[in-house]
Structure 1
């Protein structure tokens, strides 16, 4: 397992990200980028503030213009301590004044701006009221690959998160499943993720028997029984970057059908991972996995996309789905997670995080993908 704590990102790292974002916006025909609290702000500046704050906090980026962070006065001291603070100017506003009057002079009064997806409607409407000739588009639509290509330091963190998730899986296989609630196994997964260095646990899916046929089942008080197939999907953040892996285990010996369905999913997942290389479209990864499952007669039971990007959040662009023509480039990281879900009976999913290399793809999860037998 990857060990040690990676070196922190520097002010120069954040400055380069902000410059790249501003230039990407200009290349896309935008006047700039407006970034509210959330993962984009953390990635661009190192500054973390609760996304549910009602006071306007907004990073303004535009080509040829110094990055500026508009913050409430009471938050300014903390913002000044952010790792990227030296690469931007702070403009604060006090309660009782209009924050949009502070923000307006930073914007092209007739410009079209990319806005981070989690910006408050109240704040966007406030800007529109102050600058009625401006217009806005979501960053996912305008700049979907803003965070999509990871550098070496980011890949190091993703690899460490993946290794921690792998260690979690190796440990959870050793515990008793039969006679215990799904909730019990989910709690143990969360504890193990933290044990192996996760600061945040985002999900611990434990879908036993018929619950495994629901891809977004989390965990319940259902008691796991001998003879159950159990889908385990878990992940979170380590060193600020995500893990996400799925393995499907069986309590006792599986039936021939259960083994066959698992083999089909594993083959689909392997084929899709092997297909990853620069220059192919995201939808091609989905097509490869889906063809294996469809050819085996289970196409109608593969009911979700094949994968999603991962980085400072566990779900982000790019998405491996039909219609997504974005080409793969080195440094992209995403899940490959086909599945088969038989309603009322059982489900199977196998998932790894894959990064695109110069000549192919590399998995960031290394645990065995064969069906594990647990007690």
Structure 2
């Protein structure tokens, strides 16, 4: 797909309208997913200022270090209509921000993850301006994915599925989690990702820690192994998929029993997704069967998180989020059961809410996989 499909010029105009409606005079966006969403530029985050100045009215300006101007010009940003201005090493770049704003401002939205030193420098450069979060404006634009974004997420999903399909090549008793993770990371890149965002290989008791990572512990025969992996595609869109495996022998009987509960819960939660259903109702659909089976306290986390240019973004599928789902919302459905000191399991698919239901972007089987 072309960059104009993923990063269409009209996004800037839509963001300007939303900025004005939010009572902000401008957005000031440092490197990160918001800047890339609006311009397509995957900017380097460093001590030299890169900042998209997007006034509610007027022309947008992308301020970049002079040494990074070639990268900015080679990105999709110029096709969106952004003017590029550079600053030399040693020069104060903040007057360029003031000039790009074109006049006094009373309120600006800053990228949520802007470095503190830049936040404070902008406060000094714009002493009359209240600083708010740019997500107040951009959250609503980003939460519903366009068809091109859904296609990019589907491409990412297929790439990570291809890695899970090859797991039998690497996951064997006697190998350490770290050894397996090294092979998986190489496969994630070979499948088309430009970066490996995370590799969790959690065997036996380590599987009871949802964010375990890896260790030098060898994998034992018959141990359940949670494998949660994801990366970023050239498009900028992310993958994230978890499957649970058993290697080299039969798993513990109690594990087989609760995995069946987890499998049913994950399927029920996916099936609950459709427009108008609240995010917390999907969480409930996953949680009720697990609670009914006596494992409620062992489901330690929310059911899901949005995904796109960030690995975690809106909407969050969690109790208390009463927002109704809408077509184009993309998020994970990933219930888990974790028995401390023994083992754990998680099943995760990325799904998209469609106009009349749900589309799974990960299509490998969710049954317990014996290798």
Shorter chain as denominator, the TM-score bin is: over 0.9
Whole-angstrom CA distance in 2 between matches of 1:347 and 1:323: 26
Q: CA deviation at 1:190?
A: 1.4
Aligned ranges 1:85-164 → 2 under 5 Å: 85-86=78-79, 87-107=81-101, 109-164=104-159
Which whole-Å CA distance do the structure 2 matches of 1:141 and 1:80 have between them?
A: 29
Counterpart position of 1:262: 259
Residue 7 of structure 2 corresponds to residue 10 of structure 1: no
Between stretches 346-355 and 143-152, larger displacement belongs to 143-152
CA contact (8 A) 1:352 1:364 kept: yes
Q: In structure 2, how many angstroms separate the alpha carbons of the residues matched to 1:127 and 1:154?
A: 32
Q: Does 1:327 align with 2:320?
A: no
Q: Distance in 2 between matches of 1:212 and 1:138?
A: 37
Match of 1:244 in 2: 240
Q: What is the root-mean-square deviation in Å for CA atoms of aligned residues?
A: 1.9
Task: Give the aligned length.
Answer: 367
- Whether 2:276 is the aligned partner of 1:279: answer yes
Out of 332, 339, 352, the position equivalent to 1:342 is 339
Cα distance per residue 1:212-256 (max 9 Å; x no partner): 000000111000001211101011022321111111111221233
Corresponding residue to 2:64 among 57, 71, 95: 71
In 2: Cα distance, 1:215 partner to 1:188 partner? 21
Gaps spanning 5+ residues in structure 2: where?
A: none
Deviation at residue 140 of structure 1 after TM alignment: 3.5
Residue 348 of structure 2 corresponds to 351
| Stretches of structure 1 lacking an aligned partner (at least 5 in a row) | 1-6
Question: Is the Cα–Cα contact under 8 Å of residues 10 and 84 in structure 1 kept in the other structure?
Answer: no
**What is the deviation of 1:311?**
1.1
CA spacing shift, 1:289–1:82, aligned 2, 3 Å: same
TM-score (norm 1): 0.92
Summarize deviations over 1:13-41 as a string: whole Å, max 9, x none.
Answer: 44212122222222223222111012222
Could you tell me how far apart the structure 2 residues matched to 1:12 and 1:180 are?
A: 41
Match in the other structure for 2:38: 44
Asked if the contact 1:104/1:127 (under 8 Å) is kept, the reply is no
Residues 15-73 of structure 1 show CA distances to partners (whole Å, capped at 9, x for unaligned) of 2121222222222232221110122222221222221x111111011333111112223
- Between stretches 163-172 and 141-150, larger displacement belongs to 141-150
- Which SS does the other structure have where 1:284 is aligned? helix
Q: Give how far 1:147 is off.
A: 2.0
Residue 195 of structure 1: which of 175, 183, 190 is its match?
190
Answer with 163-172 or 279-288: which moved more: 279-288
What does 1:14-33 align with in structure 2 at a 5 Å threshold? 14-33=8-27
